[in-house]
Structure 1
Amino acid sequence: MMSAVKLQSIITCPKCAHAKEETMPIDACQWCYECECCHAMLRPKAGDCCVFCSYGSERCPPMQQHSCSCVRRRRYSDARRTLDSVPPG
């Protein structure tokens, strides 16, 4: 039996520890979040699909439903960006 998807998550800033409850998007992953206290721009940790999976009390709805495909896309684009930054030779 699958549990209901949770839409509320408490996101905690790793820089200042400010915590705020936010409503997560149902059908998308959020790749950036600005802390309203210290204005740090949060980005997902390596291997995570979004800021809620990295800093939230709940994983994002696509991950809760096991239907998230952005992790594979991010890993590919991160690897591609790394390869593009290596000088030839």
Structure 2
Amino acid sequence: MASNENEVRVGAQGRVVIPAALRKALKLKPGERLVARKVGESLVLERREAVERRLRERFKHIPKGVSLADELIAERRAEAAAEAGDA
């Protein structure tokens, strides 16, 4: 294993202990909450701030004042109207 990799074991109730060296390197504190997600066959743990930064970067091309929720609703309504017209 590379020097920045550590083997961990999945314990009772799916618990995983993050090795002390990684906690120290990442400055993780007791009680800190992380976001878990599946990427391919991997488990990724991230701070919420990192997730928010990644999402802001991903959607930075959308003008301020545009509601993504409103855009999605409008898109779905247009699709439903088109399907109703086909029927």
Taking structure 1 as the reference length, the TM-score comes to 0.28
Larger Rg: 2
Whose helix proportion is higher, 1 or 2?
2
How does the TM-score come out when normalised to structure 2?
0.29
Higher relative contact order (CA 8 A, sep 6+): 1
